[in-house]
Structure 1
């Protein structure tokens, strides 16, 4: 999962929304956020990003398919 980085202004806006929660809801939110810190990111091996195109179509057929799939609005 991609990480989202917030600036201080955005964090303050979120806090403004969340500070009105009851204590039980705040505790649940703290627990969820704390647990999310412990989740380890899965590493993607670079070699999984490479490979040959697997298809029996020739280039003309692929171009034809692309052109036919276009939608104009």
Structure 2
């Protein structure tokens, strides 16, 4: 609840500060804030979309498979019955 109260007091402080601005300055500020929010949403969406897709590499599939297989380390001991 304290976070909400702190956020609310910050908002009240900004509101008091903005009361002295002219209407046109307030509208300009609203437009800039809206653009800022839109750009934040676009960047979040593009980051989400970038997390999907094909694996990209200059190596061929065979080279990648060989590299993976050669890097495997096993110390498996088979129990004798």
Q: TM-score under structure 1 normalisation?
A: 0.47
Q: TM-score under structure 2 normalisation?
A: 0.42
Larger relative contact order (Cα-Cα within 8 Å, sequence gap ≥ 6): 1
Which is richer in helix?
A: 2
Larger Rg: 2
